[in-house]
Every structure is written in C-alpha cells, then in structure tokens.
Amino acid sequence: MPLHLPWAPSAEETTGDSRAARQSVPYALAFLAFTAYAALSVSTYERFADRSWDLAIFTQAVRAYAHGHAPIASIKGPGFDLLGDHFSPIIACVAPIYRVFPTPLTLQVAQAALLALAVVPITRLAIRELGLGAGAAIGAAYVLAWGVQSAVAVDFHEVAFAVPLLAFALEAYSRGDWSRTACWAAPLTLVKEDLGVTAAAIGILMMTRGARKSGAVLAVGTSAASALAVLVVIPALNSRHTYPYWSMVASGRSHFLSSALRAPANLLFPQPKFHTVCLLIAMTGLIALRSPISLITLPTLLWRFLSSNSSYWTTDWHYSAVLMPILFVATVEGIRLARGSRRNWIRSHAVHTPAIVVTVAVMLCPSYPLHALWDSRTYAPSSRAAAAHTAISLIAPGATVETDSGLMAQLAARRTVYWIGGTRGVTPRYVVIDAFAGWSPSAPTNAARYAEGLHPGHAYRLLYDNDGYEVAINTNISSTR
C-alpha cells in the first residue's frame, strides 16, 4: 500500500493563495537570508573584526577592474596580478557597483546577495517536487547551512559566485532542461580554475540521463577551460611562471599516503576530514547519498583532502560553500527517489527528511556565525573604533601603506596597501601596525623603529600611537605616494 506523503503537493496548492505562497516563499526566504548575511558581514566590518586579509586583496582587485586595469593586488606583492594566483575573472562583475560605492562593504553586500540568491532555485525546486511545507523547510535549512554561514563569516571570496550558478544549474538539471543547465554551469570556469571540473561532472551526469551531445560539450569544454587556466593562463601571469598550488597537492598526497601506510584507518577516519564529511552527510538527513547529484561534490572534496593545507579540510572558512547547493538539490532528488522505494522504512524516512534537515541546521547554528545576530555585542561599536578611525584619517588618500591585517581592508579602498614585510623593495610612505591583530608572535612596540628595520636608510617618525594602533610616516618621502 503506498505510503501517504503529507509533504506532497495537493491539488489545492496549485490555485489561489497556495499558488501565490508557492511562488513567494523562495523569494521571501532569499530576502531573509540576504538580510541576515549582510547584517553579519557589515557588523563584522564596522567592528574591525575581519578574519583575514582576503577582503583587502579582493578590494584591490575589484578596485583595479573598476578603473579598467588588471587586477593587481599589491598586498600579495608589488605588481602581483591576482589572475596569476587563481583564475577568477568573474569578480569583475562587482566592479561597476564598486565604482559607484568604492568601499569593501560593496564586496561584502554583493557576497550576501549572491549566497542568498541561491535560496530561490533550491526552494523553488523543493516546493515543486515535495510541496510547500517540505520545500520551505529545505529552503530554510539551506539559509542556515553551516557551509554558507562559514563563508559569510570570512569576508569576501570568489566562490560566492559559484553558489547561485550551481543552484540554478542543478535546478535546470533536475527539470531536464539541458540547455539551461549548460548555460548556468559553464560560467563556473570563470569563478575558479578547479570549478571547471565540477561543471564537467554536471556534464557527465547529463550524459547519463540521455543528453549525450550537450553533456559531452559541457564536460569537454569546461575540463579544457580548467586545464588551460592551470597550465597556461595562471603560469603566464604568475611571477614565478607556475601554478602556485601544485606543491600543496603534491605534499598533501605524500602525507596522505604515508599516513595510510602507518595506519590504514587514516584512509577512512582522518581528522578533521572525517568530521567535515560527517557534517556534510548529516545536514542532508543521509538521503542526499541516494542521488547521483551528490557525486558532483567529489572534485572539490578531492582537491581539498589531497592538499597539505589543513585549513582546506575543516568546516571553517569558505571552502564548503560550493558544496551546499549541490547537496541540497541532491537532498530534494534523494527524497523524490526514496518515495518510490519498495522498502517502507525508506519511504517513511523520505517523509520526515525535510523536518530532519531543518532541525539539524537549527541545532548546528550555535556553533556557527549566524548565532551572533542574537548577541547585542555584534552591533556594539568596537571599543577601539575611535582610535582606528583616527589612525586611518592620518593616512593620505593615494598613499603607499605597509600594514598588517588589523586595518588592511579599511585602507585598501583608497590607498596602495602592502603586507607588512612584503613590499619587496618598495619603500612605503606609511607603516601601520595593530598590536592586537595577532599577525606576529611578537608585535613591535614602536612602529617607527620597526619600519626603519624593514627599510634601512629611511627614517620614520611615529605619527600616532593609541589603543594598540601605531602609524609611522617616512620623513624621507614628501609626496603622498
């Protein structure tokens, strides 16, 4: 006897108010997501609590695009072309908006919008396949997904563009609309060099579902684009004329094999990789594994787990963001497939999966960044805000600045910024230090003396020293360069 599915759409849901709700819920959830993500990002920036130098690097690149220049990120070295690090020309899409609003907050808000946009196709697909209640639950679970939250909390990254592209591509794939699938998946090659392989995986799945020609074109084309980026474009623009991440993969593979030889259990239970995989599976109520769509996660997981950089293995940072739309669409398809199972317990699990998925997402929230939105301290100004603003105001627009991560993002919009100790022969007009930024085991107590040590033959004078912020000015340079 068929199992009754309370989540399934009824005839009434296709008319009147129910139809309006089915159309409006995806956009309502997306708006709520954007509000939450933007609030967290903006409050983090305003409290000078940015977690890394990435926001400053991408600000420099987008600023250059906005003025018609190559994406030079001097933070990574004088004249450093960011396309020689990762192939991410898609970030130029933010440049027109940045030209009007030249602040790092433009990137933060753009990222919030991109991550929230993915809610629309995911929720729309879920409602169509499972009904309004179940679809809304799946959409809400995506909004709270730990991979998305982690990405929001770490400033701006190019992978924010991949999230909606994947969501729209997989929605089209689930509907059997192969041309739209390819049109949404192909631009992944412009987000980051590894994502061409992810797009190729979508093409291969298309081929297994009968779209042999369009699937093959997508798979071959995007694979070739990734190879071209890694083997030709990035080395051509890189100062060392190589792809800078080969060494991480090689050393990571050696470490993986040696660990496996010492303890075969490391193949199955390496920490923290095992923890990451468990959370990925748990957030879908296990049912995503029933869908071939879940296989699209393998290229990303493979390069992450083969790398020697342990930051790639964890649930922190932005590395799991691209996996979220894949797994949530796989969850929807997994539920649909499970509903036709001959086993009663599988059909029963399918009925309850939407509730399980949203419950898991809510339970994990206290461990991830969005819980801060309920903390009044999130909206309180930093106790050092006045000193920070004063330090920034003392640095002339257009000047060269060598600094640590403390005020780097705030300085990058209107000045040429270098990483402390990484100017490679360029002598900056200003050196700015945040004693509390944690960039060095032993932060200097006098920025002027420290600057003179970095740049022998140049005299620096301490211009400002308050609440851990120090600004030193080069007395040998009279211009604002």
Distance CA 417, CA 451 (A): 15
List residues bridging with 401 in a β-sheet.
Answer: 417, 430
The beta strand positions in 325-459, using DSSP E, are 400-403, 416-419, 430-434
Helix (H) or strand (E) holding 385: helix 385-393
Buried b (16+ CB within 10 A) or exposed e, 379-391: eeeeebeebbeeb
User: Based on the domain organization, do 231 and 346 belong to the same domain?
Assistant: yes
Distance CA 70, CA 231 (A): 20
User: Based on the domain organization, do 356 and 419 belong to the same domain?
Assistant: no
Q: How many CB atoms lie within 10 A of CB 180?
A: 15
Per the CB < 8 A criterion, the answer to whether 186 and 221 are in contact is: yes
Torsion 147-149-155-159 (CA) sign: positive
Per the CB < 8 A criterion, the answer to whether 99 and 68 are in contact is: no
| Residue 264, φ and ψ in degrees, nearest 5 | -55, -25
Distance CA 284, CA 301 (A): 17
Distance CA 227, CA 211 (A): 24
Do you know the residue count of the chain? 481
Question: Is residue 480 included in any domain, yes or no?
Answer: no
Contacting residues for 313 by C-beta, under 8 A, at least 6 apart:
270, 272, 273, 276, 304, 305, 307
Distance CA 79, CA 168 (A): 36
Query: Residues 199-257: pLDDT tens digits?
Result: 999 999 999 999 999 999 999 999 999 999 999 999 999 989 999 888 766 554 555 55
Question: Is residue 479 included in any domain, yes or no?
Answer: no
Strand 460-466: give its sheet, edge to edge: 416-419, 400-403, 430-434, 469-474, 460-466
Collapse the DSSP code of 100 into the 3-class scheme (helix H, G, I; strand E, B; otherwise coil) and give the result.
helix
> Which pLDDT belongs to residue 12?
45
> Which pLDDT belongs to residue 228?
97
Question: Is residue 5 included in any domain, yes or no?
Answer: no
For 434, the token pair is 């945040």
> Which pLDDT belongs to residue 219?
97
Q: Alpha-carbon dihedral of residues 271, 405, 244, 274, nearest 10 degrees?
A: 10
Question: Is residue 462 included in any domain, yes or no?
Answer: yes
**Domain containing 347: what range?**
11-374
Which amino acid would we find at residue 228? L
> Which pLDDT belongs to residue 251?
57
Cα Rg of the chain (Å, integer)? 24
Question: Is residue 202 included in any domain, yes or no?
Answer: yes
User: Based on the domain organization, do 219 and 330 belong to the same domain?
Assistant: yes
Question: Is residue 312 included in any domain, yes or no?
Answer: yes
> Which pLDDT belongs to residue 178?
96
Q: How many CB atoms lie within 10 A of CB 102?
A: 16
User: Based on the domain organization, do 365 and 393 belong to the same domain?
Assistant: no
Distance CA 106, CA 114 (A): 12
User: Based on the domain organization, do 467 and 357 belong to the same domain?
Assistant: no
User: Based on the domain organization, do 306 and 421 belong to the same domain?
Assistant: no
Distance CA 144, CA 139 (A): 9
> Which pLDDT belongs to residue 340?
83
For 30, the token pair is 């997306």
User: Based on the domain organization, do 254 and 331 belong to the same domain?
Assistant: yes
Helix (H) or strand (E) holding 471: strand 469-474
User: Based on the domain organization, do 391 and 336 belong to the same domain?
Assistant: no
Angle between the 212-228 and 178-185 helix axes, to the nearest 10 degrees?
10
Question: Is residue 2 included in any domain, yes or no?
Answer: no
Tell which residue, 127, 201, 209, 118, has the closest CA to residue 167.
118
Contacting residues for 3 by C-beta, under 8 A, at least 6 apart:
339, 344, 347, 348, 351
Residues of the chain with pLDDT under 70: 1-17, 248-270, 438-445, 478-481
Collapse the DSSP code of 416 into the 3-class scheme (helix H, G, I; strand E, B; otherwise coil) and give the result.
strand
User: Based on the domain organization, do 295 and 147 belong to the same domain?
Assistant: yes
> Which pLDDT belongs to residue 479?
53
User: Based on the domain organization, do 326 and 231 belong to the same domain?
Assistant: yes
Its pTM stands at 0.90
User: Based on the domain organization, do 310 and 440 belong to the same domain?
Assistant: no
Torsional class of 300: left (φ above 0), alpha (ψ -120 to 50), beta (otherwise): alpha
Angle between the 132-143 and 119-130 helix axes, to the nearest 10 degrees?
150
Residue where a domain terminates, one of 341, 374, 407: 374
Residue where a domain terminates, one of 326, 351, 374: 374
Query: Residues 69-109: pLDDT tens digits?
Result: 999 999 999 999 999 999 999 999 999 999 999 999 999 99
User: Based on the domain organization, do 325 and 408 belong to the same domain?
Assistant: no
> Which pLDDT belongs to residue 271?
73
For 327, the token pair is 């797994």
What one-character-per-residue DSSP string does 121-173 give? HHHHHHHHHH-HHHHHHHHHHHHT-HHHHHHHTT---GGGTHHHHHHHHHHHH
Distance CA 347, CA 353 (A): 10
**Is omega for the bond preceding 272 within 30 degrees of 0, making it cis?**
yes
Residue where a domain terminates, one of 313, 344, 374: 374
Tell which residue, 379, 388, 436, 430, has the closest CA to residue 409.
388
Question: Is residue 6 included in any domain, yes or no?
Answer: no
Tell which residue, 327, 323, 324, has the closest CA to residue 291.
327
Specify the number of domains making up the chain: 2
> Which pLDDT belongs to residue 423?
93
List residues bridging with 466 in a β-sheet.
Answer: 469
